[in-house]
Amino acid sequence: MADPQVKQIGKYKVEVIRDKCIGAASCVAIAPKVFDLDEDQIAIILSQDGNDDETKLLAAQSCPTMAIIVTNIESGEQVWPVK
């Protein structure tokens, strides 16, 4: 049985739509090991595995312009934004 204390990593893949990003940086605040801002103040991905999947999804949901897409790698389904 999965250890409930161990948070899942690796099921979700995140990507940033640069044209939608306004540099609000809420994603950086929530998942700082996954997201950062580049010199243009646009979000970039540092690592897909820096934070657990739940935190990555929260970070995506916190984006005011829905500039972060979350995809379930196993099923290929887009998890966020909800279609």
Site residues for other proteins per CB under 8 A: 22-24, 26, 29-30, 57-58, 61-62, 64, 80-82
Minimum distance of other proteins from residue 70's CB (angstroms): 10
Closer Cβ to other proteins, 1 or 75, answer by number: 75
Cα–Cα distance measured from residue 82 to residue 23, given in angstroms and rounded to the nearest whole number:
22
- The nearest distance, CB 17 to other proteins, in angstroms, is 16
**CB within 8 Å of 40: residues ≥ 6 apart:** none
Q: How far apart are CA 10 and CA 83, in angstroms?
A: 22
